[in-house]
Structure 1
Amino acid sequence: MSTVLRIAGVDEAGRGPLAGPVVAAAVILNPNQPLTGLADSKKLSATQREHLDRDIRASALGYAIAMVSAADIDQENILNASLRAMREALHALQPPAEHALIDGNRCPRDLRCRAEAIVRGDASEPAISAASILAKVARDRLMLELEAEYPGYGFARHKGYPTKAHLEALQRLGPCPEHRLSFAPVRKLIKPV
C-alpha cells in the first residue's frame, strides 16, 4: 500500500509594501478534506480570505507561517528576505513536507525536501493558494496591530502599500520603525536629494 506524498504549497505576502514584514506560509493540504474556493489571495475579498484561513487551519495536515522584519528586508533585500521567509515556513512545518511547490520563478536554497518553482502557482495549485491566503491574512492582521502602534499612517487601510494616502502620511510624519528604509519612496525622505 503506497502512502500519499506530503506536498506543501509555499507563498509569500508583502513584497511590495513600504512598511511591515514580508510573510510566508507553507501548507500541506489534507487530500481527504478538499477545500472549495481556494484561489490567489489577491483575487479574494478580505471576508473570503478570513473564512478560508479558518478552514485551511482546521483541515490542513500542517501549516506554518514565518515573517522577516522590515529591518531585515533592508539588510538582505526583499528577494532574499522573501526566500528566507519561505524557507523558514517550510522548515517549521509539522509533519515535514516531502515535496514543495513554491510560488514564483525560484526556490529558496537549503531546503530539506525537493522543490519546484511554479510561476503564478497561487492561481493554479490549491496548496499554494492556501499558503497565499494564510500569508496574506497573517500579514493583514499584523498591519492592523501596527496601526494601533503607529497611528496616522493608515496601515489598517493600505497595509503598508504605497498608496497616495500612505505617501502623504510619510511626507507628513516621516518613516516609523516599521518602514523599509531601503525602498525608494522611504529612502527619499531620510536622505537629502
Structure 2
Amino acid sequence: MPYEPPTHTVERSIRATTGARIVAGVDEVGRGAWAGPVTVCAAITGLRRPPPGLTDSKLITPKRRAELADTLESWVTAYALGHSSPEEIDDLGMTAALRLAAVRALDGLPVRPDAVILDGKHDYLGTPWQVRTVIKGDRSCVAVAAASVIAKVRRDAMMAELRGDYSVFGFHENAGYPSPVHKAALAELGPTPHHRLSWAYLDGLPRWRHLKKIRITPEAAALESGGQLGFDF
C-alpha cells in the first residue's frame, strides 16, 4: 500500500509563525520493549527534498530501512542519538527517561535547534524547548521520518550486538520486544542485565517475580522520609 511522502509543511509553519531558523525532528524507539534502552534521534534536515521512499520506519522492510538509514545519515544536515538505559527507565519511569534520552540527542547536535517537532501527541520534552507535537509525525514530517528511520536501525543494531552473550533471547530479531522466543527464554532463564526490571512482565514469571524493581516516586519518597509534599496543615 503506497503512502504519501512526508513534507516540510509543519516545519514551514513553525518557521513562519515563530521565526525559528533551525528545526529538529525528534522520534523515539524502544518504548514498548522489555529489554534494551529507549533511543531517541534528533535530526535536522532543512527544507531539501528527501530521499525516495522515506516514511515511518515501521512501514519499511528491514533491508530497505537499513539502506535508507545509511543514505539519511549523510543526507541530513545533522543528527544525534540519545539513549536511556534500562536502569534509568526503572528508576525514572518512561516519561522522564524519554525526556532524558531526547535531551541527550538534542544536546548532541552541533547546533541548538530553535524548535522541535516531536512525534506523537504528548510533549515529554517541555521547557525550555519550543515543541510542536504532531500525531503520526514520523509519516508526515520529513525531519521526524528521518529521525524515525535512523533511531530504529541504530537501536536494532545495538540489540543485535547482544547476540553473542544472549542469543537464546533472540534480541537480534526481536530487538528486546516481547516475542515467543523472548518469552520462553525469560521464563526459563530470567531477566538479563539488559531487561527493565520494573515492568509488569515479571508479574507473570513466578520464578523471577522477586526480581521486580518497584520505582519509588518522589511523592512516595517524601512520605517515607516524613515530608509533607508541600501541603500546609
Give the TM-score, by structure 2 length: 0.76
Deviations 1:89-138 (A, max 9, x none): 12221122121100112220344x42111111111111101001111011
101-110 or 36-45: bigger deviation = 101-110
Cα distance change on mapping 1:45 and 1:169 into 2, 3 Å: same
Deviations 1:18-37 (A, max 9, x none): 00000000000143453221
Q: Structure 2: which amino acid aligns with 1:65?
A: L
* Deviation (angstroms), 1:186: 2.9
Q: Structure 2: which amino acid aligns with 1:6?
A: I
Q: Measure, in 2, the Cα distance between the counterparts of 1:79 and 1:37.
A: 31
Q: CA RMSD in A?
A: 1.8
Contact 2:20-2:114 at 8 Å conserved across structures: no
Matched, 1:24 2:40: yes
Q: Structure 2: which amino acid aligns with 1:130?
A: A
Q: Structure 2: which amino acid aligns with 1:109?
A: G
Q: Structure 1: which amino acid aligns with 2:171?
A: F
Gaps of at least 5 residues in structure 1 are: none
Residue from 163, 176, 180 that aligns with 2:196: 180
Secondary structure of the equivalent of 1:49? helix
Residue from 196, 199, 209 that aligns with 1:191: 209
Q: Measure, in 1, the Cα distance between the counterparts of 2:78 and 2:97.
A: 23
Q: Measure, in 1, the Cα distance between the counterparts of 2:204 and 2:196.
A: 12
Deviations 1:30-65 (A, max 9, x none): 434532211111111111111111111101111000
Once the two structures are superposed, the pairs formed by residues 41-56 of structure 1 within 5 Å of their partners are 41-56=57-72
Contact 2:168-2:181 at 8 Å conserved across structures: no
Q: Measure, in 2, the Cα distance between the counterparts of 1:151 and 1:186.
A: 20
Aligned to 2:118: 102
* Deviation (angstroms), 1:74: 0.6
Q: Measure, in 2, the Cα distance between the counterparts of 1:100 and 1:19.
A: 28
65-74 or 89-98: bigger deviation = 89-98
Aligned to 1:34: 50
Seq. identity, %: 36
Aligned to 1:5: 21
Aligned to 2:171: 155
Gaps of at least 5 residues in structure 2 are: 1-18, 211-233
Contact 2:23-2:46 at 8 Å conserved across structures: no
Q: Measure, in 2, the Cα distance between the counterparts of 1:137 and 1:18.
A: 18
Bigger relative CO (Cα 8 Å, ≥ 6 apart): 1
Contact 1:61-1:95 at 8 Å conserved across structures: no
Q: Which has the larger radius of gyration?
A: 2
Runs (4 or more) in structure 1 with deviation over 4 Å come to none
Q: Structure 1: which amino acid aligns with 2:131?
A: A
